[in-house]
Amino acid sequence: MKIAVCIKQVPTRDWQPRVNDQKTWVRDQDAGFELNEPDAYALEEGLRLKEQHGGEVVVCSAGPARVAQALREALARGADRAIHVMDDALATADAFAVSEALAAAMREEQFDLVLTGLQSDDQGFAQTGPILAELLGFASATIIMHVDVQPGGLRVKRELEGGWFQWVALPLPALLTVQSGINQLRYATLKGIMAAKKKEIRKVTPPAGVALRQRIVNLYAPVKSKQTQMIGGSAGEAAKTLVAKLRDEARVLS
């Protein structure tokens, strides 16, 4: 089975974000970066499927030169090779542009299965996987908690709301967006780190015509504020006023 795992490099969770001068994104030069955690679960699932059914795992990512660090980490964990769609503009691009860039680089590979994390830790739109599936013409399913490979296709378990689950059968080729917690993550060993230095990272450029369909106009940190309001009158009147404010203004009561 030929498996692709799409990964993204995101700012580390313990870093305090600083907005750039244009107020369109964070200051990359001040940030530390790491492998997107949901994508790490997708990678682990791809490696487990390879161990069970054979084949290869190819990690794919789009972004500036620094993305190579995340690709090397994935190779150290056990992926066989990598594809890097290199372009600085893809660091802050919307899901449409990223999907188009990845799809162009992945089509000739003819993958049987594509795995992505459910969403990214920075923008969190959860759109890249479904859009990529549409561009590749693959069957797709989201929020996957279990994968069974069967003759001619897959049987997958989806997580729904309210503690419910759904089993779905899909033909191959297919794309799955993987939920965090589907498995226990492995970490790179010294042997894996050394081996990763010799594995191929194929660098490609995005095709002409890939355009942003979404633009960040203004990015800012939420402003914390607190306002105290005294409610007068008798106890009964104060209670009625408080309930009205909680229902109509704070909207915490229905």
Mean pLDDT of the chain: 90
Which residue type occupies 182?
I
> In this prediction, what percent of the chain has a pLDDT beyond 90?
63
- What pLDDT digit, counting tens, does each position of 19-78 carry? 888 887 887 777 788 999 999 999 999 999 999 999 999 999 999 999 999 999 999 999
Q: What is the pTM of this model?
A: 0.82
* Residue 84 Cα distances to 61, 63, 98, 163, 205, angstroms: 5, 8, 12, 37, 8
Q: How far apart are the first and last CA of the chain?
A: 52
Q: Out of 3.40.50.620, 3.40.50.720, 3.30.565.10, 3.90.105.10, which CATH number does the structure's domain 2-204 have? A: 3.40.50.620
How, if at all, do strands 174-178 and 201-204 pair? Answer: unpaired
CA 34 to chain centre: 12
Write the DSSP symbol of residue 90: G
Q: Which position has the token pair 């994390």?
A: 117
- What pLDDT digit, counting tens, does each position of 191-236 carry? 999 999 999 999 999 888 777 778 788 887 777 777 788 888 888 8
Segment 107-126 mean pLDDT: 92
Report which listed range, 115-124, 170-179, 225-234, is most confident.
Answer: 170-179
For residue 172, pLDDT over 90 is answered with yes
Residue partners of 75: CB distance under 8 A and separation at least 6: 59, 81, 82, 192, 195, 196, 199, 201
**242/226 Cα distance (integer angstroms):** 17
Query: What residue ranges do the domains of the chain occupy?
Result: 2-204, 226-254
Closest CA to 108 of 207, 194, 41: 207
* Residue 133 Cα distances to 55, 61, 72, 144, 190, angstroms: 21, 15, 25, 15, 35
**49/248 Cα distance (integer angstroms):** 52
Segment 97-111 mean pLDDT: 94
- Say what the pLDDT of residue 212 is: 77
For residue 153, pLDDT over 80 is answered with yes
Cα torsion angle, 185, 197, 177, 173, sign:
negative
**107/103 Cα distance (integer angstroms):** 6
Burial class (CB in 10 A: 0-12, 13-18, 19+), 31: middle
127 phi, psi to nearest 5 deg: -110, -25
Write the DSSP symbol of residue 197: T
Residue 253's pLDDT band (cuts 50, 70, 90):
confident
Residue partners of 44: CB distance under 8 A and separation at least 6: 77, 182, 183, 184, 185, 186
